[in-house]
Structure 1
Amino acid sequence: MSVAKKEYKRVTVKSLVDMKANEEKISMLTAYDYTMAKIVDGAGIDVILVGDSASNVMAGHETTLPITLDQMIYHASSVVRAIDRSLVVVDLPFGSYQSDPKEALRSAIRIMKESGGHAVKLEGGKEVKESIKRILNAGIPVMGHLGLTPQSIYKFGTYTVRAKEEEEAIKLKEDAKLLEKIGCFSIVLEKVPAKLAQEVAESVSIPVIGIGAGGGVDGQVLVVHDMIGMTHEFNPRFLRRYLDLYSEMTTAFQQYNKDVKSSDFPNEKEQY
């Protein structure tokens, strides 16, 4: 039975666990800069993810792999300066944690110290267990990420739905329980069947936040540039566009160009 919803002046990792216990859905969006983060935070979004998706939407790379730890710290620092309420989670980029638990800890410490972020997120289950444990032992909160893990795109070879086959689904369930057991405060599930995602969410006490994982999980995350329609060529089934900024911004820029060239801008009221 759910209890009365609580207003959180500042969202923490404990807040998210409480939200799940109270059957309150968790909202999460990405942000990579001060101006966008200020708007997202002011709108009441619970979690801001400084995602390695910055590699795609901010830098124009085909994958998330090229972004560096220094670049993630830069983006995270910009976001943290804008925040009054949201929990800020920062992705550990590719190559900063996979091979060496000591390197993983050093990377996580740099993010926490240099950006002021509140937690880190990394992809994988059993194969990165020692890295996660090393980070957690240092007192740094960790959000897991299972299902489609974009940093492993060259291993998968495709961005299609994961864990449709029984063997991979069983591993995903086992990895989710492992992440809970070793101390992760939450898990992102990306592009997995809705039924499986719901089963995972019901099997663990920590929040499961989905992207392309159906409505049976504890919260949802989207890339902010996708959901406000600044990007227009990316159209997965799970994406709902709440604005069409690509069209609106294009129209505005075209009008500005026209006004400048015709000497309509600036007019007498727009000068000193």
Structure 2
Amino acid sequence: MSAHPAPRTRLTLNDLRTKRDAGDPLVMVTAYDFPSAQIVEEAGVDLVLVGDSAAMTVLGYDSTVPVTVDEMLMLTKAVRRGLEAPLLVGDLPFGSYEASDELALATAQRFLKEAGVDLIKIERGGTTVDRARALVNAGIPVVGHVGLTPQTATSLGGYRAQGRTADAALAVIDDALALQDAGVSLLVIEAVPSAVTAALAPLLHVPLIGIGAGPDADGQVLVFHDLLGIHAGGAAKFVKRYADVRGVSVAGVRAYADEVRSGAYPASAHEYAMPAAEAARLQEMLALR
């Protein structure tokens, strides 16, 4: 009997809204390559985001800003090949959509045509609301992102919680409502006090996904490398580690290195055999050269 679950039916935006209306929390996670896509597929998540967090988690940049459209497309295409049921969200990187509606549309179309995403994610309110409206008017489903927006973290005072005063919280809520009015299909709210999410959620008719935003959102998203403990160093306050993949991986590679150095690997079980007669004939052939 196969250890793998039966394939699930491909989810739709209507399925997400139905889940939300029924009070079923939505599960979203990032993925950045084919193996991670296969893992989250088998785990049964609802949405997969190829976030520009890949800039730091996969590509080694010190922020999300340097990652390019071509780099994001390469990663997103790999994830697409590993997914069946979850909706795939492509994250437009910094500098690829802000300047004009035309630029936003051209970049989003590449993600749809080349990577097969189901939705496009863009950050902030302000002029991003105009970009969101243009994409929606062109028939492209959009995910908005408010609160802490990593692409503009420097202008927000760094990677820190937003909306901690009433005025700042109202600005986050207004951004979310403006994006909803522009026609987005989904909203992500990041790193805000739980009270902000609790105040916003009843005002929305689209699903709200939280990350460091408390329990009142319609679902949650975490970064794959954070929740599995893949990378070294600390994590944000809101991250819960569900595994220590890095620790297990280091131990496994260290054990391999020790066995290679001691001669324990490869053992006979790891060798390919050659018939004795053929081995003898090979020696004769070599002797005649």
Which TM class, normalised by the smaller chain length? over 0.9
Residues 87 and 118 of structure 1 are in contact (CA less than 8 Å); yes or no, is this contact kept in structure 2?
yes
SS of 1:123's partner is coil
| 1:144-169 deviation line (CA, Å, top 9, x unaligned) | 00000000022123111101122221
Q: How far apart are 1:190 and its partner, in Å?
A: 0.4
Range 180-189 or range 87-96, more displaced: 180-189
Measure, in 1, the Cα distance between the counterparts of 2:64 and 2:178: 25
For residues 225-262 of structure 1, give each alpha carbon's deviation from its aligned partner in whole angstroms, at most 9, with x where no partner exists: 11001113132221110001111111111000001111
- Residue 232 of structure 2 is matched in structure 1 by 232
Task: State whether residues 148 and 192 of structure 1, in contact with CA within 8 Å, keep that contact through their aligned partners in structure 2.
Answer: yes
What are the superposed Cα offsets for residues 17-56 of structure 1, whole Å, 9 maximum, x if unpaired? 2211111100011001011101101110100000000000
Report the counterpart of residue 151 of structure 1 in structure 2. Answer: 151
- Aligned twin of 1:35: 35
CA RMSD of aligned residues (A): 1.0
What is the Cα deviation at residue 130 of structure 1? Answer: 1.5
Partner AA of 1:247 in structure 2: G
In 1, Cα distance between equivalents of 2:62 and 2:114: 27
**2:181 matched to which residue of 1?**
181
- 1:206 match: 206
Question: Structure 1: which 5+ runs fail to align?
Answer: 1-7
**Residue 264 of structure 1: CA displacement?**
0.7
Structure 2 residue matching 1:81: 3-state secondary structure: helix
TM-superposed CA distance for 1:138, in Å, is: 1.4
SS in 1 for 2:76: helix
> Which runs of 5 or more residues in structure 2 are unaligned?
1-7, 273-289
> Which moves more between the two structures, 159-168 or 21-30?
159-168
TM-score of the two chains, using structure 2 as the length reference: 0.89
Counting only pairs closer than 5 Å after superposition, residues 1-272 of structure 1 correspond to structure 2 as: 9-272=9-272
Task: Give, in whole Å, the separation in 2 of the partners of 1:225 and 1:170.
Answer: 32
Letter in 2 for 1:250: V
Structure 2 residue identity aligned to 1:46: D
Runs of 4+ in 1 over 4 A off after TM superposition: none
Once residues 42 and 13 of structure 2 are traced to their aligned partners in structure 1, the CA distance between those partners, rounded to angstroms, is 19
Corresponding position of 2:283: none
Counterparts of 2:157 and 2:51, CA distance in 1: 21
Structure possessing the higher radius of gyration over alpha carbons = 2
> What amino acid sits opposite 1:38 in the alignment?
Q
Q: Aligned residues, how many?
A: 265
Shift of 1:206: 0.7
Letter in 1 for 2:158: T
Letter in 1 for 2:233: E
TM-score (norm 1): 0.95
Query: How many Å apart are 1:82 and its aligned residue?
Result: 0.9
Q: Secondary structure at the match of 2:36?
A: helix
For the 8 Å contact 2:130–2:182, the answer to whether it is kept is no
Give the Cα separation in 1 of the matches to 2:215 and 2:207: 13
Local SS of the residue matching 1:11: coil
Partner of 1:4: none
> Which SS does the other structure have where 1:37 is aligned?
helix
